[in-house]
């Protein structure tokens, strides 16, 4: 048992727990209303939004799994960097429109938008289910990260995880989105401190960058299969498509959407797309922790343990405890936002759409709070019941699923030319094809080698599925528009997409 | 139905094409997957991508300033 590390860890954990409950009184609103509980009344300014959306990106998964991939497989793990490079300029164009139309019509979820735009409950249900299903394993993964640091401190068993999750569930229930927003500020400061100290201390202790890279190269060569020091030609298309696919999916995940919708103005959203890349630089450094672990001679079968073991080896124990707390709290914030986002989706687009049509906002808030508890219990069962390896591949599949909402959510934001039925069928094709490709690898890998015109083209399955989805959507739209299948009523107007644009 | 007419924006929509710059710069590792030239002992593959974090942030900032709604 690492007592010094554990003590520091627990102190910081308790600190954010108190914050989580205090958050209920922050910028006080009626927490019995779903827009207050689930979107904090759309009142977050540039800075809070920066922390909140950054909290979505900077998860325990990033801190544990990206360096783990670098540690195990080498250069491929670095795709997380181009992924976070391209994501902001792309969504700089898209999200302000989304925010505006959501503000104008009071949309809480992406599916609300689909229902308003296409007058199609089935399509909106499809998008809601995709979001909820893709979110569950993502929450479970946050737990995997937490488990890795708790285990590194010598605490065994499931109970610390269960205790942490009960605390998380309680303050999310009482404070709603305000809790993760407030905690995100503390968490990010802790992560930045950890990263800055790591980038100074590690090269000093490990003999400089040059030595870190040379020893990582030597260590990777001994792995089976051999790790790549820089991307190999066979990895090029996989590297690029993984980065692009992950980027396109990121802001369409329900929890990112929640972060964006809670912004107080259109300008806050735009400004954030220009400010958020500050995170990407730290992400690159975090990824390199995998190589630092190799250089430090860390040997572990479970690559998830690489970073925690590196911290324990190279930092004084109390500081390792601080870093662990940063990672664990970094797991709680997104887990809270994700469970809020999933329960918003369930409440608005399944419960209200199909069961209690005249639910008041108060009634919605009550259901959403309750469902947020169920979602977390579900994730907990998931992590305790299934082996970890399974959860990690499920996360990659989460990306494949979310990518299939790209056509309807992004094209739909600009044009109504595409037909609502075509979107639905395209979505089905994309989901089925994506899962099929994943299945052909024995549910182990999300890279699929497509053979076309005598060429073998390996790429992220999510991108292949998205291409199939788009082709089907375009072709069927031509057909449905030609035979004039009913289009449904568009409740939005062109001006709605510019709400507050001229202020 | 509503009175918020889309105001004419200051910037030309052509500025949005800037989005292609980071996409071209980073999504094709065939252009940059090499060890040399090294910088402070860091292989080209790694420092090149870190450099693009800064370039992409600048590009997005230029888009923000050029397309500012007011």
Nearest to B22 among A89, A239, A502 (CB): A89
From A170, A186, A187, A184, select the one nearest A339 (Cα to Cα): A170
How much is the average pLDDT of A2-14?
87
Report the C-alpha gap between A459 and A257 in whole angstroms.
27
| Number of domains comprising chain B | 1
Would the pLDDT of A280 be above 60?
yes
Asked if ipTM goes beyond 0.90, one says no
How much is the average pLDDT of A202-210?
87
Report the C-alpha gap between A21 and A27 in whole angstroms.
13
Would the pLDDT of A468 be above 90?
yes
How much is the average pLDDT of A344-359?
84
Interface test with A, best of B1, B4, B59 (most A CBs within 10 A): B4
- pLDDT of B5 reads 47
CATH of the domain at A314: 1.20.1730.10
DSSP A67-123: HHHHHHHBGGGGGHHHHHHHHHHHHHHHHHHHHHHHHHHT--SHHHHHHHHH--HHH
Q: How many CB atoms lie within 10 A of CB A399?
A: 23
Instruction: Please report whether residue B57 resides in a domain.
Output: yes
Largest CA distance in chain A: 72
Would the pLDDT of A251 be above 60?
yes
Would the pLDDT of B3 be above 60?
no
Report the C-alpha gap between A347 and A351 in whole angstroms.
5
Side-chain-facing half-sphere of A102: CA atoms under 13 Å = 28
> Which residues is A263 bridged to in the sheet?
A44
Contact A495 B56 (CB under 8 A): no
Instruction: Please report whether residue B6 resides in a domain.
Output: no
Contact A210 B40 (CB under 8 A): yes
> Which residues is A459 bridged to in the sheet?
A448
Contact A239 B29 (CB under 8 A): yes
Report the C-alpha gap between A203 and A474 in whole angstroms.
52
Contact B56 A86 (CB under 8 A): yes
Contact A231 B5 (CB under 8 A): no
Contact B49 A81 (CB under 8 A): yes
How much is the average pLDDT of A360-385?
81
Instruction: Please report whether residue B8 resides in a domain.
Output: no
How much is the average pLDDT of A248-272?
85
Taking the complete model, does pTM exceed 0.90, yes or no?
no
Would the pLDDT of B4 be above 60?
no
Instruction: Please report whether residue B9 resides in a domain.
Output: no
- pLDDT of A406 reads 92
Instruction: Please report whether residue A478 resides in a domain.
Output: no
**Four-CA torsion A55, A56, A57, A59, nearest 10 degrees:** 70
| A129 contact partners, CB below 8 Å, separation of at least 6 | A350
Q: Given CB atoms, is B12 within the 8 Å cutoff of chain A?
A: no
Q: What is the pLDDT of residues A439-465, one digit of tens each?
A: 887 777 777 888 878 788 888 888 999
Instruction: Please report whether residue A165 resides in a domain.
Output: yes
Instruction: Please report whether residue B61 resides in a domain.
Output: yes
Instruction: Please report whether residue A473 resides in a domain.
Output: no
Instruction: Please report whether residue A386 resides in a domain.
Output: yes
Instruction: Please report whether residue B16 resides in a domain.
Output: no
Angle (deg, nearest 10), helices A46-57 and A317-346? 100
Exposed, middle or buried: residue A102 (CB in 10 Å: 0-12, 13-18, 19+)?
buried
| Number of domains comprising chain A | 1
Instruction: Please report whether residue A322 resides in a domain.
Output: yes
Q: What share of chain B is helix, strand, coil (3-state, %, to 5)?
A: 55, 5, 40
Q: How far is A270 from chain B (nearest CA, A)?
A: 7
Chain A residues lying within 8 Å of B52, measured CB to CB: 82, 85
Instruction: Please report whether residue B2 resides in a domain.
Output: no
Give the angle A162-A165-A171 at the CA atoms, nearest 5°: 145
How much is the average pLDDT of A76-93?
88
Report the C-alpha gap between A286 and A129 in whole angstroms.
33
Residue B7 pLDDT grade (very low, low, confident, very high; cuts 50, 70, 90): very low
Instruction: Please report whether residue A466 resides in a domain.
Output: no
Chain A residues lying within 8 Å of B36, measured CB to CB: none
Structural domain that includes position A350: 3-390
Structural domain that includes position B59: 34-70
Q: How far is B16 from chain A (nearest CA, A)?
A: 7
């Amino acid at each position: 048992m690492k007592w010094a590390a554990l003590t520091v860890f627990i102190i910081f954990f308790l600190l954010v727990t108190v914050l989580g409950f205090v958050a209920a009184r922050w910028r006080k609103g009626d927490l019995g209303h779903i827009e207050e509980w689930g979107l904090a009344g759309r009142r977050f300014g540039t800075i809070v939004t920066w922390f909140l959306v950054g909290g979505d990106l900077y998860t325990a998964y990033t801190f544990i799994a990206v360096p783990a991939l670098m540690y195990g497989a080498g250069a491929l793990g670095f795709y997380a960097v181009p992924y976070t490079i391209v994501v902001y300029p792309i969504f700089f164009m898209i999200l302000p429109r989304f925010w505006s139309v959501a503000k104008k019509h009071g949309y809480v979820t992406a599916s609300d938008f689909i229902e308003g735009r296409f007058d199609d409950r089935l399509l909106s249900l499809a998008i809601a289910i995709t979001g909820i299903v893709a979110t569950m394993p993502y929450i479970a993964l946050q737990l995997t990260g937490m488990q890795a640091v708790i285990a590194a401190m010598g605490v065994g068993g499931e109970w610390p995880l269960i205790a942490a999750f009960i605390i998380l569930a309680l303050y999310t229930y009482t404070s709603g989105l305000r809790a993760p927003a407030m905690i995100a500020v503390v968490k990010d400061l802790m992560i930045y401190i950890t990263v800055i100290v790591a980038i100074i201390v590690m090269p000093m202790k490990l003999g400089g960058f040059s030595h870190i890279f040379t020893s990582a190269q030597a260590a990777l060569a001994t792995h089976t299969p051999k790790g790549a020091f820089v991307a190999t030609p066979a990895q090029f298309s996989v590297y690029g498509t993984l980065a692009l696919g992950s980027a396109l999916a990121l802001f369409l995940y329900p929890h990112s959407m929640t972060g964006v919708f809670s912004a107080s103005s259109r300008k806050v959203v735009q400004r954030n797309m220009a400010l958020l890349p500050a995170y990407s630089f730290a992400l690159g450094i975090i990824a390199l922790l995998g190589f630092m672990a190799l250089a430090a001679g860390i040997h572990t079968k479970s690559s998830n343990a690489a970073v925690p073991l590196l911290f324990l080896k190279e930092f004084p124990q109390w500081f390792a405890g601080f870093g662990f707390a940063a990672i664990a709290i970094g797991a709680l914030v997104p887990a809270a936002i994700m469970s809020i986002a999933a329960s918003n989706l369930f409440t608005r687009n399944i419960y209200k759409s199909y069961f209690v049509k005249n639910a008041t906002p108060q009634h919605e808030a009550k259901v959403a709070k309750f469902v947020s508890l169920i979602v977390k219990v579900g994730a907990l069962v998931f992590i305790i019941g299934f082996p970890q390896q399974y959860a990690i591949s499920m996360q990659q599949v989460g990306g494949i699923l979310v990518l299939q909402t790209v056509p309807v959510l992004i094209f739909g934001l600009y044009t109504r030319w595409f037909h609502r039925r075509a979107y639905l069928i395209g979505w089905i094709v994309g989901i089925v094809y994506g899962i099929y490709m994943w299945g052909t690898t024995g549910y182990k890998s999300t890279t699929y080698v497509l053979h076309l015109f005598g060429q073998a083209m390996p790429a992220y399955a999510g991108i292949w599925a998205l291409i199939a989805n788009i082709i089907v959507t375009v072709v069927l739209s031509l057909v449905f528009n030609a035979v004039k299948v009913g289009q449904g009523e568009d409740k939005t107007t062109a001006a709605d997409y510019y709400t507050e644009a001229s202020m | 139905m509503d009175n918020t007419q889309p105001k004419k924006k200051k910037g030309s929509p052509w500025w949005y094409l800037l989005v292609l710059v980071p996409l071209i710069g980073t999504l094709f590792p065939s252009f940059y997957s090499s060890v040399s030239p090294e910088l402070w002992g860091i292989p080209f593959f790694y420092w090149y991508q870190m450099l693009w974090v800064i370039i992409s942030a600048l590009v997005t900032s230029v888009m923000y300033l050029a397309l500012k709604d007011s």
